[in-house]
Amino acid sequence: MEFDVIVVGSGPGGYVAAIRASQLGFNTAIVEKEELGGICLNWGCIPTKALLKSAQVFNYIKHSEDFGIEITKSNPNFDKMIKRSRNVADNMSKGIDFLMKKNKITVIKGFGKLMPNNKVEVTNEKKESNIYDAKNIIIATGAKSRVLENIKQDGEFIIGYRKAMSLKKQPKTMTIVGSGAIGVEFAYFYNSIGTEVTIIEYQGNIVPAEDKDISRQLAKDFKKSGIKILTNTGVEKVEVKNKKCKILLNNGEKIESDVVLSAVGIESNISNIGLEDVGIATDNNKIIVDEFYNTNIPGYFAIGDIIKGPALAHVASAEGITCVEKISGMDVQPINYDNIPGCTYCSPEIASVGLTEEQAKEKGYEIKVGKFPFSASGKANAAGHKEGFVKVIFDSKYGEWLGCHMIGYNVTEMVAEVVAARNLETTGHEIIKSIHPHPTMSEAIMEAVAAAYDEVIHI
């Protein structure tokens, strides 16, 4: 059977690419060995947010008296939280199945392996294989949890993010190695429902990719909630003895935990998919592509976590659309990777785009910096979420909006304003003169920009 486009992998890069290809008139197929939607929808972005919502609701209940509500008893039901999370993921996966049918996309179940001459071999659960031809093959096989030799996962005591969403029993103690988005989100969830959590971070601050002011604020809030944080600390080895994890740190200290969650990043799913057979070039476990996702072999493309760039669902989706539109002959522009927003959904939430203050200085910019604390926001006070702030960074010479970094309640819903403004090369004064509704959390963006230009009103 021959197709115009075959997409290998149905995550947020793959299924979006397939839908756009179908919209553009291509006879399209998608290959998936597990559930439609990939890791993001089934074991990442979506089910984790369901767990975090359960934690948020429980936190509201625990602090209900702050809102004038008396609740005499409440307990988290770990099993039901996990079940709800899985149900949300299952429903979303069914939604992707609906979209495939709606867009007349052929779904081929099985493991896809690339072959020369624009072919894909798909082997199903029964070990039956079929070969499919396509004029264009888009590789979107995503990533998996990175495994370190000294922290080998056994799926019971030493686990990755996938197992952290499906544990049969809530651990009393958990040590999380790594404090990126995965690490801090699970730290918030498990701490909220009563697990004693320790974070171990090799670098000098948690969420090390963020602006240092953001890192300091999150560390302050986490410590206040009872999470223990060890920075500038590495793990030498982890041993399991008597159903306990014995963790040896690089400073010679030893700690003990019921479960160790390894959250040290991800690695590309490109092993055994036929890259060598086709001759597709890689570098440092990433497929090499050009600005429109062509590999070195004509007719083969790659998007998402398997190529260089931010390993984010929305980036993969954008790459899939750009790739397909270029294949169709449309006049498209390459993605601007300097304007990609990042979101972390712990509490308080983190959202950022562009350069940090440190990065801006390293690049030689003379900068204007503005900060507005949510403690001065009427909406934040009314909502009971005064923690956090919005920080903006502008180039003093030309007024370019270099970066924006937020930490606080619901800030992940606010950052798109900044992305759009930066994309349109909006100036600080245009933001100041754009009337923001009151009372809202988003006013803090306008106020932070005003602070950068010494025009702030409410602080």
Q: Is residue 382 part of a domain?
A: yes
- Residue 87: the pLDDT is 94
203 and 289 both lie in a single domain: no
Residue 358, SS3 per DSSP:
helix
Q: In this predicted structure, what is the pLDDT of residue 38? A: 86
Count of domains observed in the chain: 3
Report DSSP state, residue 413: G
pLDDT value of residue 206: 98
Claim to verify: residue 256 and residue 218 sit in the same structural domain: yes
Note the pLDDT of residue 296.
Answer: 98
Claim to verify: residue 371 and residue 426 sit in the same structural domain: yes
> Is 405 marked active-site?
no
User: What span, in angstroms and rounded, lies between the C-alpha atoms of 372 and 458?
Assistant: 9
Residue 367's pLDDT is: 98
Cite the beta strand spans of 211-283 per DSSP E: 228-230, 235-241, 244-249, 254-257, 259-262, 266-268, 282-283
What is the tens place of the pLDDT at every residue in 35-64?
A: 999 888 888 889 999 999 999 999 999 999
Contact (CB, 8 A) for 347 and 408:
no
Q: Is the dihedral of CA 168, 173, 176, 177 positive or negative?
A: negative
The residue type of 152 is K
Last residue of a domain, one of 337, 372, 395: 337
297 and 429 together in one domain:
no
Q: Which of 264, 292, 323 is the last residue of a domain?
A: 264
Residue 312, pLDDT score: 95
Mean pLDDT of the residues in the chain? 96
Give me the catalytic one of 63, 429, 438, 458: 438
> Is 151 within the bounds of a domain?
no
Domain boundary, last residue among 204, 233, 264 = 264
152 found inside a domain: no
My answer on whether 117 and 47 are in the same domain is yes
- Quick one: 60 and 174 in the same domain? no
From first to last of the 459 residues of the chain, give the pLDDT tens digit. Answer: 799 999 999 999 999 999 999 999 999 999 999 999 988 888 888 999 999 999 999 999 999 999 999 998 899 999 999 999 999 999 999 999 999 999 999 999 999 999 999 999 999 998 999 999 999 999 999 998 888 888 999 989 999 999 999 899 999 999 999 999 999 999 999 999 999 999 999 999 999 999 999 999 999 999 999 999 999 999 999 999 999 999 999 999 999 999 999 999 899 999 999 999 999 999 999 999 999 999 999 999 999 999 999 999 999 999 999 999 999 999 999 999 999 999 999 999 999 999 999 999 999 999 999 999 999 999 999 999 999 999 999 999 999 999 999 999 999 999 999 999 999 999 999 999 999 999 999 999 999 999 999 999 999
Answer yes or no: do 321 and 398 share one domain. Answer: no
- Assess if residue 150 is contained within a domain: no
Q: What is the pLDDT of residue 45?
A: 87
Structural domain containing residue 61:
2-144+267-337
Q: What is the pLDDT of residue 40?
A: 83
Whether 237 and 331 share a structural domain: no
Q: How far apart, in whole angstroms, are the C-alpha atoms of residue 183 and residue 218?
A: 13
Long-range pairs of 336-341 with CB within 8 A, sequence gap ≥ 24: 336/423, 337/309, 337/310, 339/419, 339/422, 339/423, 340/310, 340/312, 340/314, 340/315, 341/314, 341/415, 341/416, 341/418, 341/419
274, 260: one domain: no
Instruction: Give yes or no: residues 260 and 272 share one domain.
Output: no
Evaluate whether residue 457 is within a structural domain.
no
The DSSP bridge pattern shows strands 173-177 and 196-200 to be: parallel
Q: How confident is the model at residue 321, as a pLDDT?
A: 98
Tell me: do 259 and 386 sit in the same domain. no
What is the domain-level CATH number for residue 446?
Answer: 3.30.390.30
Residue 459 is assigned to a structural domain of this protein: no
pLDDT at 149: 86
Assigned domain for 223 exists: yes
Which one, of 189, 184, 183, lies nearest residue 170 by Cα? 189
Within-domain flag for 458: no
Same domain, 221 and 303: no
Q: What is the CATH number of the domain that holds 170?
A: 3.50.50.60
* pLDDT value at residue 446: 98
